[in-house]
Structure 1
Amino acid sequence: MDKKKIAVPLVCHGHSRPVVDLFYSPVTLDGFFLISASKDSSPMLRNGETGDWIGTFEGHKGAVWSVCLDTNALRAASGSADFTAKVWNALTGDILHSFEHKHIVRACAFSEDTRLLLTGGREKVLRIYDLNHPEAPLREVDKSPGSVRTVSWMHSDQTLLSSCTDMGGVRLWDVRSGKIVQTLETKSPVTSAEVSQDGRYITTADGATVKFWDAGHFGLVKSYNMPCTVESASLEPKYGNKFIAGGEDMWVRVFDFHTGDETVSIFSP
């Protein structure tokens, strides 16, 4: 009788509270990297291929709900329950900018040219900061229909993605008009949404499901049920043949993109 193939975990020190956001960097000259956010207030940077710990960003005073890396993985950004979004030097861990908000920041994203930072949260407002002129007046997009949970840029930097904590669906916004132009419908609120590095897919997590959508025509391509409620999912940037997902059980797991089968778990509590 054939024995069922069992995924063998590669265990290393991880977060002390649930993982709520994951982000793969683009492929750089030094490889690619994985950054994770947790309610323990300390984002962690890791080698994207091995999961090996590189460093921890210290400075937030509340749960960190969102993290991302810029195109060259030289800067990181984070959104926190301490009412701030921070931009970090990803090589040294130093804080470069700290943007004050009036409520919890649940989401942040760099534009593809790394010049802009998009944030959203409990204020139901999408804000755009110019990182070349951080003291300049910021731009605001029309008010979101609900508390913002995720934000992301499409590759044109003219379209934004956002989701809400209290309703299903991912909304696409036209930056020029500030209006919603398309909605990807889901049954549960979407807790993460990102565009793949090659621009082909939008990856979303809602409830215990990870979905992949066509980024050109916005149709559903794949949908996989996960072993637990998932807070975040990200498609591996180098080959696009696997994706990671993390959530309530504090594990980050790797899955085959084509089959949805779990391959390894790369870190745990």
Structure 2
Amino acid sequence: MEKKKVTVPLVCHGHSRPVVDLFYSPITPDGFFLISASKDSSPMLRNGETGDWIGTFEGHKGAIWSSCLDTKALRAASASADFSAKLWDALTGDELHSFEHKHIVRACAFSDVGLNCLSIGILLLNLSYNLNHRPASNACDTHFLLTGGVEKILRIFDLNRLDAQPRQVDNSPGSIRTVAWLQSDQMILSSCTDTNGVRLWDLRSGKIVQTLETKSSVTSVEVSQDGCYITTADGSTVKFWDANHFGLVKSYDMPCNVESASLEPKHGNKFIAGGEDMWVHVFDFHTGEELGCNKGHHGPVHCVRFSPGGESFASGSEDGTIRIWQTSPVTHDESDLLGSEPSGKVKAVADEVARKIESGLHIGGEGKTGDMDKATDA
């Protein structure tokens, strides 16, 4: 009798409040990693393949709206409602610097992260720096951190001069929701929570050079790994734009309002979307036909992202969990091998956790989220 094919997710517990952002690192010699942002004030780092919890970055006193990893997964950054963005050592969990802002920070993005993951809008800029110059302390390629938020100001911090004043673009038409760099580090995506469309800015002139028109405010943007497409989610629509000429390539109506969408990176034949109906939908990129529907979350899905190799994708929800789904369904027998502990925590990979523990990354209680009384939503 043929085994029935089902999609069995790995369920990652630990956050005590909604998960609002997910970011996969590129593939490194140690594998790839997943960092999650949650309203519980504590970003979490996980093995990107297995979902195994590695550690928690502690220090924020407000909701975390965005988090990311640099190219080599050596440093992390987080944007918070406590009016700060923080830079972390991803190996030790230590706070390296806190960039103070005057209002809620909604988004952060490292430069030189390739075309992995980004959200909302576009900022065209020309930053000249020596790509061969690398900080001696950690041999990172990343040089800049971009932030944006309620202040309506885009800031670019030089990570080689942490105390230096940031470069600013302060004429955003509204509160910035998310930001990210494009591959060349000369373009950035940036848009607003209260304004429709995605805007391209020229930092040299400080002016908008083009707008990707949408009918609703854009809640998610991602650039495909091959640099061909920009994927946006607005209202109940997912759109794909030419990443070089910025023309609209495809537009698909979704079965519900969606908050996030992601294009499969390897072949670009599928995309996923998640939103208010609590499901993660899989669609054919070329036709828009729905190929599958992954159920399991108990609240709206706020974020979805494909892993860098495309073998799996992750979703984060209002229910406080992260679920990692295999791109290809497995049989019931195979799913037994993917089971988690009774509590829902995936079994730790000893080598990976040991590598992090040797460097001292905080491995306290997985559900620990800091001082919840001080957490601030926005």
User: Normalised by the shorter chain, which TM-score bucket?
Assistant: 0.7 to 0.9
Residue in 2 that maps onto 1:219 = 247
In 2: Cα distance, 1:26 partner to 1:164 partner? 27
Q: Out of 242-251 and 202-211, give the one that drifted further.
A: 242-251
In 2: Cα distance, 1:127 partner to 1:10 partner? 36
Calculate the TM-score normalised by the size of structure 2.
0.62
Q: Give the AA of the match of 2:224.
A: S
Residue in 2 that maps onto 1:204 = 232
- Whether the aligned pair in 2 keeps the contact of 1:188 and 1:207 (CA below 8 Å) is yes
| 1:140 and 2:143 aligned | no
Deviation digits for residues 183-241 of structure 1 (CA, Å, limit 9, x no counterpart)? 11122211222323332222323234443322112133444555665444444556656
- Which structure's residues are more often strand, by fraction? 1
- Whether the aligned pair in 1 keeps the contact of 2:146 and 2:154 (CA below 8 Å) is yes
- Whether the aligned pair in 2 keeps the contact of 1:173 and 1:181 (CA below 8 Å) is yes
Deviation digits for residues 71-114 of structure 1 (CA, Å, limit 9, x no counterpart)? 11111111110000011111222111110000000111111151
Residues 16-35 of structure 1 mapped to structure 2, 5 A cutoff:
16-35=16-35
In 2: Cα distance, 1:264 partner to 1:92 partner? 35
In 2: Cα distance, 1:59 partner to 1:164 partner? 27
Higher RCO (CA 8 Å, separation ≥ 6 residues): 2
| 1:166 and 2:194 aligned | yes
Q: Give the AA of the match of 2:211.
A: T
Residue in 2 that maps onto 1:64 = 64
Residue in 2 that maps onto 1:156 = 184
- Which structure's residues are more often helix, by fraction? 2
Aligned residue for 1:107, secondary structure, equals strand
Larger-gyration structure (1/2): 2
Q: Give the AA of the match of 2:210.
A: Q
| Aligned residues between the structures | 265
In 1: Cα distance, 2:92 partner to 2:266 partner? 25
Residues 41-52 of structure 1 mapped to structure 2, 5 A cutoff:
41-52=41-52
Q: Give the AA of the match of 1:69.
A: L
- Whether the aligned pair in 2 keeps the contact of 1:158 and 1:174 (CA below 8 Å) is no
Aligned residue for 1:186, secondary structure, equals coil
Calculate the TM-score normalised by the size of structure 1.
0.85
Uncovered stretches (5+) of structure 1, i.e. residues with no partner: none
- Whether the aligned pair in 1 keeps the contact of 2:173 and 2:195 (CA below 8 Å) is no
- Whether the aligned pair in 1 keeps the contact of 2:274 and 2:281 (CA below 8 Å) is no
In 2: Cα distance, 1:13 partner to 1:250 partner? 17
Cα RMSD for the two superposed structures:
2.8
Q: Out of 105-114 and 7-16, give the one that drifted further.
A: 7-16
